[in-house]
Amino acid sequence: MAAPTPTPPAGAAKRSDSVDDHGVFDDAKTYYAAHERHANPRAGPRTRTYSQNSLFKQFERLGLKEPYRRGSHDESSSLHGRRFLIQVEPTLESLLSQEDPDGNMQITIEDNGPKVLTLRTAASNGHNRFDIRGTYMLSNLLQELSLAKEYGRKQIVLDEARLNENPVNRLSRMIRDHFWEGLTRRIDASSIEIAARDPKDWTDDPRPRIYVPRGAPEQYEYYKKLAEDKPEIRLDVQLLPEKITPEIVRDMNAKPGLLAVDMEKVVDPKTGEETLRGRPFVVPGGRFNELYGWDSYMESLGLLVNEKVDLAKSMVLNFCFCIKHYGKILNATRSYYLCRSQPPFLTDMALRVYDKIKHEEGALEFLRTAILAAIKEYHSVWTAAPRLDPVTGLSRYRPEGLGVPPETEAGHFVHILEPYVEKHGITFDEFVRRYNNGEIKEPELDEYFLHDRAVRESGHDTTYRFEGCCADLATIDLNSLLFKYETDIARTIRNVFNDKLVVPAEYCVGTMVPGQIETSAIWDRRYKRRKLAIDKYLWNETEGMYFDYNTKTRQQCSYESATTFWALWAGVSSPKQAAAMVTKALPKFEVFGGLVSGTLESRGELGLEKPNRQWDYPYGWAPQQMLAWTGLYRYSFTEEAERLAYRWLFMITKAFVDFNGVVVEKYDVTRPIDPHRVDAEYGNQGLDFKGVAKEGFGWVNASYIYGLQIVNAHMRRALGTLTPYDTFIKAVEENRNKTLAELV
């Protein structure tokens, strides 16, 4: 049976709180939309309640000191635990004025308020009071009040359990019930006005625009009718040319737009007529509306754990649509990305989904479509010119393209272009126009942008690892992924399709002919050849790790990258190589918060002429963590996988607790106190929220949910008490030694 990369068995991943049966931890919509839940059953004729501050002020005016009535034991031991009767607006105002001195609508360990607020208990009809203490409970109160206000509640009965909830449970719940929903998009009439408007449209007339491939005429008619029915949104519907070339993409930059993705036929409940509806997908962060490449795979790992299988399946089908009509899984579905892909993960993603749905009707056809799409992408993108290096047989990130990448901010390349502007004695804008159109020839500039585009295709934008050389590098990450494609396709054809997969015309490329039969043997030979080439060019026996290979200089590079562990994920390494990596390489990358992207030694010293890059030391990213955990588990290095997962999860949980529920794109994995603060290049996504975080960040959300499947039950409990790894392992060892001593 074909199978994706193995996922470790789940630990104690499910919640076991008995109060959950009573809806204490319902999602915000369920919890705050129900009126009955917030009508205080203890309230008699006197229903007036007071926020802390307003009541105190009345006592102050009268010169009285209010007797302090604590909540009774009866309240806290009731069926649902302690509950508070809260007037939302006044309490929110009091909380912020007292605990949020910097006015950013977040309560963190850096705020110097008294860190205590008194609430009225519901069981006493607001008569008794109880103190809410500490950053975590107060920030949770802020989040709950913000949500209650959004749902229009004036008064709520709030369970204390939502304020002192185990942080691992709370973050897991937020991801499952809120973050995924906040990041889910679909492209159709319900969203096109916003989604088709490109925030990177620097033209004089930015407007919603969508490009539809010629192979999807029903979509073209759908969007044309939508534009006619709603002229006020100014939707520009364009039909893509049959053949996409770098010249066509360059000329489209004057009219950038969204690219259509897959749609399904549904019946409109209002009209009873058949119409189209966009297949949903998850975006990386809240500001995005387009489908991204490798982000989607990483997100699917979390979606599948959270049993959001239909959403992960829908994303696979969107990828198949992109390969069928655009020739590749794109960097993202915007017109200026048409020549550029991203790290390929389709086979593993499809097999993981298939494993969940294989007993459902249509599952086999779903897998057939995904494998055929992967075969087409493999041949037309990754093992064809210009990405294939014919000498080594290895592949490179080397997308086509002309001119200056249009998606960057206007000033992004000023320091690169200014010398050429001065050389030609024309204005900046005039130089860019003439250079893009080929009227000005600058080979050195062509070389610079060749590598710049390659860096963006790699997903690692940016890093000194790829500075001025990316398009020439046969990287360990890309070739590990292609090895995984080859082994996945071979096993799937052999075990699922009885060693016979017929290729229809729409998936044929190069010398392939419609109806030709793919067998496992050719794919077996391909992965064996790639394994030999990886060992020859990328493996370094002395260092015990893999390095990139420069196909231009014919030399192995020396930059130490955490992508070396992708070889474990893909199954490229021999047991001996895997052991060497754990012994020699792992200590170079393991830091406080897990794996760092690259070593300090490889990055070198920073300065005015050498600023920090976000994919270098000291930053850590979710994909590097997840692939390493899975790879280590694959080779039975369970202890190392658990340790790395614990470090990453602890860092995220600690920042979540200390900084008002924050979950961000990347972390400084060397900083114990505020790892979410990143000052490199683009800063950090996920910081800018008011009151309550709504989305987190896609692959970090996934890494949290997925990581909880890696750690054991004991570790999960320790994470819930915010126990640092070193403290945890010391306690485990002491307990083990004590047990052994008792046996002697």
**Annotated active-site positions, please?**
461, 665
SS3 state of residue 671: coil
How many other CB atoms are found less than 10 A from the CB of residue 31?
A: 23
285-289, Cβ contacts within 8 angstroms, sequence gap of 24 or more: 285/183, 285/665, 285/685, 285/686, 285/695, 285/697, 285/698, 286/182, 286/183, 286/686, 286/694, 286/695, 287/199, 287/685, 288/185, 288/332, 289/185, 289/191, 289/194, 289/195, 289/258
Identify the residue whose tokens are 């399709």: 497
254 touches 279 (CB < 8 A)? no
700 membership: H or E segment, kind and range: helix 698-710
24 touches 159 (CB < 8 A)? yes
Residues 126/131/132/133 CA torsion (nearest 10 deg): 170
Q: Which two tokens stand for residue 260?
A: 């259509």
583 touches 544 (CB < 8 A)? yes
d(CA 138, CA 133): 7
Pinpoint the alpha helices (H) of 50-100. 52-61, 73-76, 88-99
Q: Which two tokens stand for residue 508?
A: 């044929």
Q: Which two tokens stand for residue 635?
A: 């080779």
* Residue 299: closest CA among 626, 569, 15, 14: 626
460 touches 466 (CB < 8 A)? yes
Phi, psi of 51 (to 5 degrees): -75, 165
CA distances in angstroms from 408 to 121, 200, 347, 405, 682, listed in the order given: 53, 7, 31, 6, 11
Number of helices followed by number of strands (H, E) in the chain: 28, 22
* Residue 670: closest CA among 645, 648, 691, 687: 648
Q: Using the 8-state DSSP alphabet, how is residue 22 labeled?
A: G
- What single letter denotes the amino acid at residue 315? M
d(CA 345, CA 44): 61
483 touches 531 (CB < 8 A)? yes
396 touches 551 (CB < 8 A)? yes
d(CA 412, CA 615): 18
277 membership: H or E segment, kind and range: strand 274-278
281 touches 185 (CB < 8 A)? yes
d(CA 284, CA 168): 22
d(CA 612, CA 608): 10
Q: Which two tokens stand for residue 67?
A: 């007797």
d(CA 514, CA 507): 8
* Residue 326: closest CA among 342, 348, 305, 310: 342
719-726, Cβ contacts within 8 angstroms, sequence gap of 24 or more: 719/168, 719/646, 719/649, 719/650, 719/653, 720/166, 720/167, 720/168, 720/169, 722/167, 722/650, 722/653, 722/654, 722/657, 723/650, 724/650, 724/672, 725/643, 725/646, 725/647, 725/650
482 touches 530 (CB < 8 A)? yes
d(CA 430, CA 433): 5
Residues 23/24/25/29 CA torsion (nearest 10 deg): 70
